[in-house]
Every structure is written in structure tokens, then in C-alpha cells.
């Protein structure tokens, strides 16, 4: 048994190839679609390429690759399959999808042209095809330049795993393909409770990812639990508009969605039409009957949603489940994969072996006020608690917790050159629900106007705690979806100069003190409060190093339309210094963190939306890197998220480019560029450069991990920094929550149906990669610094999902709408 951790990922074997049938798009489709596509303009967003892929994968589990018609300018391939397909059915599916798109096209002349094009699609009676050998990996294990492996290999893995059931301890678990992964058959696994079986499935997703240092392709596996409804769907609850329902048909699971629109319930029309085309003579069951008794329909499974209420099967897989599944995968897919490495090397963690000392100013009231003065630039703070009805117990709890933290419960207090005002206000009208009969923008603005009429504009820094119930006494949502006022209240309060912090004051009053305390501490985070830490150096690392982060906020839908992508730069001065935010799309220069929070909360207002400037993200990045490169007086650490949004704006930070860029050392660049083809406009790094850049990735692209057994036969909990092939991985401290404990115990396994009612959580793993360090730097020390920045959550015990400043930047995103 290994002693450290292993990534839940595998190396691809070299010289992989597979025999496939290659079907090409008909030439008349390709040529005629070019003309249509050129005229679609904004209507391109309605093209059903995603749906076509889902239907084709659902319909035939032998299909391993599907190319969009819009991408045929380079390659006319449509479908790759390990067995022949029904060509006429494939043509029928694509025609139905495009037919259903016609009504969505807004431009009349384009709609007419598009309709004529669709009507001619089924003139094709057969597709041009070849049976050939498809190369996927090279002799050195790298992917072939066609990059088809990204889609083909996971599908080949699904095919192989579907053939071989998981057989362990007298349990046989069969797996079956769907359009988006592999599920254990929905009637295989269950939790038995009072002679009632509650079914669930293990879901397996395989995907190829690369690393930035050597661009090593790895096949990752992700596991999750899908729980199936066994009781009436709660119609009084406001669902999300779509609920997934799976039909167990032959060798595959076909997803067809239930749509809820107001009080109407119906099958997705396009999916229903495809179903009736593939299965001639078959009809979908009556929606109302299925909703009433979902477990009465054999081979039909409705996926549980959180909004449906309690499910007696816990979420999350245990560490034992991970080991069982990985052993099965290694055995059954050995022709495609091989072990990545025995285990990851555990690195010395500076600040773990000699842990960074965080000094909480919350333990001393005068220190707290002194810190607030520094981080906000203001010496006055107004605190308002807004509530509806009788909230005597809540107010009493607030007074106690405010006294513990601020040394005051109500009225005006002057401490350490800082003035605090605390007021409680019953505001039944402005906290009431929205008018669901009105349109989205109308009801949103009605609430904002209502708040402006009731509350005066404030000039001083003001934090508003808003007590709103999420659930009623029956456990149902207190506000229906169209009536939920939280977003409108946040926007309305922002127009009066107030920051807002919501608290769920539902009938359930368990952990009342803790809930109020956490809300107050998170409000301090919104004000820019950060615990200080010791100022000494450790080796060559100075914990007073100025550090910053870049975060790109993706498009956001608001009542006023969709926002553009937004560049956010956040920087904290050394130790006790304030945190500043720059956002060229919204303001010039920099603002204190609390001021930027307020500006982001104003975005969902008419005036706030008008503030947007059409800035180019890459220009903002370029300007900032140039500025930081010219700071020569002290070291500066810049962290940047590596997600799809950021990489699309700044291609330099992709794995491919980082693996091929010219370097002076392993982590020392000669230069950095911003736009392909304009490398000369980039930044040249000289010997006096003080800028360090570390890329942070914490999304599904980072592999999960396995931990070894301990002496008691349970699984260890690992914390620290690990390294593999030049890439670092950070695992934070395990919280003391019982869900994390459940994961470790060897008697918990959803695959073996051992305590499947237990919820399991595993500490997340974050990938850290030094894009640029100085040639004399020790990368371990700088990575340790970033790792320790995940420990700065003063509002709760646990490790942040991202280093401190990137966490704070992503919190700003949540305020938009």
C-alpha cells in the first residue's frame, strides 16, 4: 500500500489506435450551411449543436465522436463509431433538431432561408463513410495532433466498462452509458428503510486533462452519487425549470427532461419528438402520473434535486468507494491506461512544519476597531438589522453576538477613535416578496423603488443584516421563485449606500447563535477584514510579501440584460494593510474592498448597469502585468485563476502554451505575451524583476485523489503540498464535520451498500503551478506561501477553496445577481 496520496488519474498508453467507421457530413449540407451560418448573426446562439450531440450519444452507445456542422471548414467528419450506425435515423435526428430551432430565429428573412435549408436535409439517403484505423496517441505517449482523443478515449472507456460489471464481495454492479457519462444501473443499488428501497446510482465521468509543465495527458475519473425519487415530486416547491428523467432503454440511459413552467408540467418537446422518432409506436408516460408516483414506472428514473427536500441516501462517495472503483477501472481498461506514478511526492510545507501564525484581532475589541480603520479607510460603521414580524429571539441573539465581537449591542458607541451605530428596524413592506404577476424587470425595479422610498441614502459605511426566511414551517420554500426578493433587496439597499448580509431566519432555530455569529464574521469579510499574521521571515519567504490576484468574471444575466466579462484585480498591502480592488469596466483607479462590494451590488440596478465600460479584458491584463513588472522595490506575488473563462481571454496561461514557452529555468520565463501573433508587445523579464506569478486551478480539471489505509484499517486524512512532474497539489486541513469523518471509515461504501445513508465529503485538492519565479527562488517556498493563504478564513473553521485574495475576488462575483 502506498504511503502518501495517489491522483485519481492515469497515463495513456503509447501508440493507441482504434478501428472506427468515419461518417462524413453530406457535401450539400456543408456548402449550403456556410451561406446560412453567415447570415445568422445573433441567432447563432439558437443552433442546437449541443442537443444533437446529446441525442446521438444517447441513441447509440457505439458512437465515440461527434463533430458540429459549424466546424466543417477544416474537417467534414460528422460521426466516428466503433460499429455501423443507422444513417437514416441520424439524418432524421439532426433534421428534427434544426426544425425545432426555426421558431427561435428572430430575423424574418433569415428564418425563411433557414427553413428552406432544413427542408432539404433529408434529401440525403446515405452518408459517405470509411472504415479505418484512428491513431490517438504517439510513441511518446503524447496525443495525436488531431486531438480526437479528448472525446474518443472517454467513450471507449465507457464502452469497455459497460461490458464488464463490477464484481466485489458477492455484489455485482452493472454500469450503463448515458450521453454524459456512465451510471450504475438504477435498480442495482439501494438503501433499505422500513421495507422501502430507495435507489441510487454511482456516476462515473472520464475526461482527458493535461498539465502545464510537461503537458502530460492524463485520464481523470470523477465519481458522484445520483439519487432517484421514490415519492411524489413536491409540486409546491419551486423547482429549477428542468428536472432530469432517465429511461433505461436496452444498453443505455436516455435523458428526457421534465419542464415546469409556472403551474404547467410537460416533457421537453424536442426530446419527446426525438424519442417517438427513434422508438416508433412508443409514447412517454403521462407527466402528472409520473410526478405522483415516480417509483411505479419500471425503467424510468427521476433524478432527485436538493429543492425536492430530504433524500435518505447521502451524497458523495467514500474513500473506500474510490479505491474499489479505481481497482476495477485499472483491471478493465488496462489496454488503454497504465498507472501514472506510484504516488505523489509529499513536499515540505513551509508554514505547516513551522506553521504561519495567524493573529485574530477578533479576540481584542480595540484591535478589531484599529484593523477596521485601516482596511476600510473609515472611522464610522453603521450596522442595521432589518426584519419582519416578531423576531424577539433573533434580536436577542444578535445583541449577544454583536456584544461578543464589537463590544456593543445597540445604539452609538465610541471605541479607539472609531464610532459604531447599531439599529434594529422592522421593515415588513420592503422585505415582502416580489409581485410574481409582473415581469422580471418590472417587479425587480418595483422593489428597488420601494426601498428608496422607505430608506434614506447613507453617506457613512453601512452594513445591513437582512433577516429573511428561506423555508416555511412545513419545510417548503417561503418565497416562490418569481417572488423571491433577495436579489432585488440587495440591489435596492446598494442604491442607498448599504452593503447587505442575508440571514436565513426560517422556523428552524437550531444553532441560532452560530448562524448569527457566522453572518457577522462574513460581513466583516465583506468590509475587507483579514486576520493579520506574524511579520517574521521563514527562510527566504517574507509573510509580508505584497500579494494580489486576477479574476475574470464571466457573463452574468441580470434583469437589465447580460453583462460583459469583467476583469478584477485585487491586492493586499503587507500584513495589516488594506485590500484594494481595481475594475476598469466599472471605475477608474482602485477602491477599498468594501467600496467595490457596494459597486458590484449596484450592477443589478438601472444606474449601476449604465456604469459599464466596453473594456477589452486582455488590455486590462496587459496593462496590469506591465505595471507590476516595473515595481522593483519589493517582491510581489500575483495569483491567477486558470479556468476556461480566463484561458479564453488570455491564451498564454493554457497548458499547451506554458509547456512550450521559452524559459531560463524550470519556472523562470524569458518573457510573457498577451496576444498570439503580438509576442513582441509582451513583457521581458530581467534579473531585477520582483514579480512572481502562480496559476491556481481548483475546478473539475484537477484530478481527485486516493489516500492510504491507517493502522486501524480506515483511510488516512492527508494534508499538505504534493508534487508530480513539476506540478504542485495543495490539500487543506480536514474540517471536523462528521461528513468528512464518514469518508474515511472503511465500513462506509455506497458500492457495497454499507451505510449509504451517510453523506461523505473529501477535502478538495487545488493545483498550483509557478508560471514565473526568479531564477534563484525556491519554488517550494513560494508554493507554500500560496498554500498557507488558503487558511485565512476567519468566518469559519476550514480551508478555503482558493487562496485568500482569489476567494475574495470570486465573492464579489456573487453580488452581481
Contact partners, residue 125, CB within 8 Å, separation at least 6? 88
Cell of 410: 445597540
Instruction: Assign 462 to helix, strand or coil.
Output: strand
State the number of CA atoms in the 13 A half-sphere of 537 facing the CB: 5
Mean pLDDT of 505-513: 83
Contact partners, residue 642, CB within 8 Å, separation at least 6? 653, 695, 696, 697, 767, 769
Q: Which residues pair with 189 in a beta bridge?
A: 200
Residue 64: inside a domain = yes
Residue 153: inside a domain = no
Residues found in the chain: 817
| Among 528-537, 598-607, 688-697, the least confident range | 528-537
Q: Which residues pair with 727 in a beta bridge?
A: 724
The whole-number pLDDT of residue 354 equals 41
Residue 47: inside a domain = yes
- The 8-class DSSP code of residue 80 comes to E
Cell of 685: 523579464
Q: Do residues 737 and 713 make contact, with C-beta atoms less than 8 angstroms apart?
A: no
Instruction: Assign 316 to helix, strand or coil.
Output: coil
Reference 430, options 498, 359, 529; nearest CA is 498
| 3-class DSSP string for 150-188 | HHHHHHHHHHHHHHCCEEECCEEECEEEECCEEEECCCC
Output the CA torsion sign for 599, 602, 607, 610: positive
For the beta carbon of residue 437, count every other beta carbon within 10 angstroms: 9
**pLDDT single digits (tens) 772-787:** 999 888 999 899 889 9
pTM for this predicted structure: 0.91
The whole-number pLDDT of residue 355 equals 46
Q: State the Rg of the chain over Cα.
A: 28
Question: Euclidean distance between the first and final Cα of the chain, in Å?
Answer: 48
Residue 464: inside a domain = yes
Reference 560, options 598, 611, 599; nearest CA is 611
Confidence tier at 353 by pLDDT (50, 70, 90)? very low
| 3-class DSSP string for 217-236 | CEEEEEEEEEEECCCCCCCC
The whole-number pLDDT of residue 360 equals 58
The whole-number pLDDT of residue 427 equals 94
Q: Do residues 706 and 6 make contact, with C-beta atoms less than 8 angstroms apart?
A: yes
Exposed, middle or buried, 3 (CB in 10 Å: 0-12/13-18/19+)?
A: exposed
Mean pLDDT of 230-254: 80
Q: What stretch of H or E contains 766?
A: strand 765-772
> Residue 794: is its pLDDT beyond 80?
no
What's the CA gap between 350 and 674, in Å, rounded? 33
Mean pLDDT of 412-421: 90
Q: Which residues pair with 20 in a beta bridge?
A: 132
**pLDDT single digits (tens) 367-413:** 889 889 999 999 999 999 999 999 999 999 999 999 999 999 999 99
Reference 744, options 774, 706, 775, 780; nearest CA is 706
> Residue 288: is its pLDDT beyond 60?
yes
What's the CA gap between 16 and 143, in Å, rounded? 9
Provide the residue range defining the domain that includes 95: 18-135
Confidence tier at 797 by pLDDT (50, 70, 90)? low
> Residue 476: is its pLDDT beyond 80?
no
> Residue 347: is its pLDDT beyond 90?
no
What's the CA gap between 616 and 461, in Å, rounded? 32
Cell of 279: 422508438
**pLDDT single digits (tens) 125-159:** 789 999 999 999 999 888 998 889 999 999 999 99
Cell of 130: 470509411
Please state the domain count of the chain.
2
Query: Which of 159-162's residues contact partners 24+ apart within 8 Å by CB, and which partners?
Result: 159/61, 159/62, 159/64, 159/82, 160/332, 160/333, 160/335, 160/336, 161/204, 161/328, 161/329, 161/332, 161/333, 162/61, 162/251
Q: What is the mean pLDDT of the chain?
A: 89
Give the percent of the chain with pLDDT over 70.
Answer: 94
The whole-number pLDDT of residue 610 equals 76
CA–CA distances in Å: residue 323 to residues 218, 339, 704, 782: 18, 14, 12, 33
What's the CA gap between 359 and 789, in Å, rounded? 14
The whole-number pLDDT of residue 793 equals 75
What's the CA gap between 528 and 511, in Å, rounded? 26
* CA 248 from centre of chain: 29
Residue 270: inside a domain = no
Cell of 745: 471509515
Q: Do residues 175 and 183 make contact, with C-beta atoms less than 8 angstroms apart?
A: yes
> Residue 13: is its pLDDT beyond 50?
yes
Give backbone dihedrals phi and psi of 48, rounded to 5 degrees, phi first: -90, 40
Instruction: Assign 559 to helix, strand or coil.
Output: coil
Cell of 766: 487545488
Exposed, middle or buried, 666 (CB in 10 Å: 0-12/13-18/19+)?
A: exposed
What's the CA gap between 346 and 5, in Å, rounded? 8
Last residue of a domain, one of 526, 557, 589: 526
Last residue of a domain, one of 526, 561, 593: 526
Residue 375: inside a domain = yes
Confidence tier at 238 by pLDDT (50, 70, 90)? low
Confidence tier at 669 by pLDDT (50, 70, 90)? very high
Q: Which residues pair with 70 in a beta bridge?
A: none
> Residue 121: is its pLDDT beyond 80?
yes
CA–CA distances in Å: residue 477 to residues 132, 472, 491, 508, 672: 56, 6, 22, 13, 51
Confidence tier at 277 by pLDDT (50, 70, 90)? confident
Which CATH number characterizes residue 448's domain?
A: 3.40.50
Which carries the bigger pLDDT value, residue 301 or residue 545?
301
Last residue of a domain, one of 88, 105, 135: 135
Q: Do residues 467 and 386 make contact, with C-beta atoms less than 8 angstroms apart?
A: yes
- The 8-class DSSP code of residue 349 comes to -
What's the CA gap between 642 and 399, in Å, rounded? 43
What sections of 209-318 are H helices per DSSP?
269-278, 287-292
Residue 472: inside a domain = yes
The whole-number pLDDT of residue 490 equals 95
Residue 554: inside a domain = no
Mean pLDDT of 614-636: 89
Strands 9-12 and 17-24: unpaired
**pLDDT single digits (tens) 728-740:** 999 988 777 888 8
The whole-number pLDDT of residue 66 equals 96
Confidence tier at 352 by pLDDT (50, 70, 90)? very low
Give the percent of the chain with pLDDT over 90.
Answer: 56
Cell of 715: 483511510
Q: Which residues pair with 661 in a beta bridge?
A: none
Amino acid at each position: 500500500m502506498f504511503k502518501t496520496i495517489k491522483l485519481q488519474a492515469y497515463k495513456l498508453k503509447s501508440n493507441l489506435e482504434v478501428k472506427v467507421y468515419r461518417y462524413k457530413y453530406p457535401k450539400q449540407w456543408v456548402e449550403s450551411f456556410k451561406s446560412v451560418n453567415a447570415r445568422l448573426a445573433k441567432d447563432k446562439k439558437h443552433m442546437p449543436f449541443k442537443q444533437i450531440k446529446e441525442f446521438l450519444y444517447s441513441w447509440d452507445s457505439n458512437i465515440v465522436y461527434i463533430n458540429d456542422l459549424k466546424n466543417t471548414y477544416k474537417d467534414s467528419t460528422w460521426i466516428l463509431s466503433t460499429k455501423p450506425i443507422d444513417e437514416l435515423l441520424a439524418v432524421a435526428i439532426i433534421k428534427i433538431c434544426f426544425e425545432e430551432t426555426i421558431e427561435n430565429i428572430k430575423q424574418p428573412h433569415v428564418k425563411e432561408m433557414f427553413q428552406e435549408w432544413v427542408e432539404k436535409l433529408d434529401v440525403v439517403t446515405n452518408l459517405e463513410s470509411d472504415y479505418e484505423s484512428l491513431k490517438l496517441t504517439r510513441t511518446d505517449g503524447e496525443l495525436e495532433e488531431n486531438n480526437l482523443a479528448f472525446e474518443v478515449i472517454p467513450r471507449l472507456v465507457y464502452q469497455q466498462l459497460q461490458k464488464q460489471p463490477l464484481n466485489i464481495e458477492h455484489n455485482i454492479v452493472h454500469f450503463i452509458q448515458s450521453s454524459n457519462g456512465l451510471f450504475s444501473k438504477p435498480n442495482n443499488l439501494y438503501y433499505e428503510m422500513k421495507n422501502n428501497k430507495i435507489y441510487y446510482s454511482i456516476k462515473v465521468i472520464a475526461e482527458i486533462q493535461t498539465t502545464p509543465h510537461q503537458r502530460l495527458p492524463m485520464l481523470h475519473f470523477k465519481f458522484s452519487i445520483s439519487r432517484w425519487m421514490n415519492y411524489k415530486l413536491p409540486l409546491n416547491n419551486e423547482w429549477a425549470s428542468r428536472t432530469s428523467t432517465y429511461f433505461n432503454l436496452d444498453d443505455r440511459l436516455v435523458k428526457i427532461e421534465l419542464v415546469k413552467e409556472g403551474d404547467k408540467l410537460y416533457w421537453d418537446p424536442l426530446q419527446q419528438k426525438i424519442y417517438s422518432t427513434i422508438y416508433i409506436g412508443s409514447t412517454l408516460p403521462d407527466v402528472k402520473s409520473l410526478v405522483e408516483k415516480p417509483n411505479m414506472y419500471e425503467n424510468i428514473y427521476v433524478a432527485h434535486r436538493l429543492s425536492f427536500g430530504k433524500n435518505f441516501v447521502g451524497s458523495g462517495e467514500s474513500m473506500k468507494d474510490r479505491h474499489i472503483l479505481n481497482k476495477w477501472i485499472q483491471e478493465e481498461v488496462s489496454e488503454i491506461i497504465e498507472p501514472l506514478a506510484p504516488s505523489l511526492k509529499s513536499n515540505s510545507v513551509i508554514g505547516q512544519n513551522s506553521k504561519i501564525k495567524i493573529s485574530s484581532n477578533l479576540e481584542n475589541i480595540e484591535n478589531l476597531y484599529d484593523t477596521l480603520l485601516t482596511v476600510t479607510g473609515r472611522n464610522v460603521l453603521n450596522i442595521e438589522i432589518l426584519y419582519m414580524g416578531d423576531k424577539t429571539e433573533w434580536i436577542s441573539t444578535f445583541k449577544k453576538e454583536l456584544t461578543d465581537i464589537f463590544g456593543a449591542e445597540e445604539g452609538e458607541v465610541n471605541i479607539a477613535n472609531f464610532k459604531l451605530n447599531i439599529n434594529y428596524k422592522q421593515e415588513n413592506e420592503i422585505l415582502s416578496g416580489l409581485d410574481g404577476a409582473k415581469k422580471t424587470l418590472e417587479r425587480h425595479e418595483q422593489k428597488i423603488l420601494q426601498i428608496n422610498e422607505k430608506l434614506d441614502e447613507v453617506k457613512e459605511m453601512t452594513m445591513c443584516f437582512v433577516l429573511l426566511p428561506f423555508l416555511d414551517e412545513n419545510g417548503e420554500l417561503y418565497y416562490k421563485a418569481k417572488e423571491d426578493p433577495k436579489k432585488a433587496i440587495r440591489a435596492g439597499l446598494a442604491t442607498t449606500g448599504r452593503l447587505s448580509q442575508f440571514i436565513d431566519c426560517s422556523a428552524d432555530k437550531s444553532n441560532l447563535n452560530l448562524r448569527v455569529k457566522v453572518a457577522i464574521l462574513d460581513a466583516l469579510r465583506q468590509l475587507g477584514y483579514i486576520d493579520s499574521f506574524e511579520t517574521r521571515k521563514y527562510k527566504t519567504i517574507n509573510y509580508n510579501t505584497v500579494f494580489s490576484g486576477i479574476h475574470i468574471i464571466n457573463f452574468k444575466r441580470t434583469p437589465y440584460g447580460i453583462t460583459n466579462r469583467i476583469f478584477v484585480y485585487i491586492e493586499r498591502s503587507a500584513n495589516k494593510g488594506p485590500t484594494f480592488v481595481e475594475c476598469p469596466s466599472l471605475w477608474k483607479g482602485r477602491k477599498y474592498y468594501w467600496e467595490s462590494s457596494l459597486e458590484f451590488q449596484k450592477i443589478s440596478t438601472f444606474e449601476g448597469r449604465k456604469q459599464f465600460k466596453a473594456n477589452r479584458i486582455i488590455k486590462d491584463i496587459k496593462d496590469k502585468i506591465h505595471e507590476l513588472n516595473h515595481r522593483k522595490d519589493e517582491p510581489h506575488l500575483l495569483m491567477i485563476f486558470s479556468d476556461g473563462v480566463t484561458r479564453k481571454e488570455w491564451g498564454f496561461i493554457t497548458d499547451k502554451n506554458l509547456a512550450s514557452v521559452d524559459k531560463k529555468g524550470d519556472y523562470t520565463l524569458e518573457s510573457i505575451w498577451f496576444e498570439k501573433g503580438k509576442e513582441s508587445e509582451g513583457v521581458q523579464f530581467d534579473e531585477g524583476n520582483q514579480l512572481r506569478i502562480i496559476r491556481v486551478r481548483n475546478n473539475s480539471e484537477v484530478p481527485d485523489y486516493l489516500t492510504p489505509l491507517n493502522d486501524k484499517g480506515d483511510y488516512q486524512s492527508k494534508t499538505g503540498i504534493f508534487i508530480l512532474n513539476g506540478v504542485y497539489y495543495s490539500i487543506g486541513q480536514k474540517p471536523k464535520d462528521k461528513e468528512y469523518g464518514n469518508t474515511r471509515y472503511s465500513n462506509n461504501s455506497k458500492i457495497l451498500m454499507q451505510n449509504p445513508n451517510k453523506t461523505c465529503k473529501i477535502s478538495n485538492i487545488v493545483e498550483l503551478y509557478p508560471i514565473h519565479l526568479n531564477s534563484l527562488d525556491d519554488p517550494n517556498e513560494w508554493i507554500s506561501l500560496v498554500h498557507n493563504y488558503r487558511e485565512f478564513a476567519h468566518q469559519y473553521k476550514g480551508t478555503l477553496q482558493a487562496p485568500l485574495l482569489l476567494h475574495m475576488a470570486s465573492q464579489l462575483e456573487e453580488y452581481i445577481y
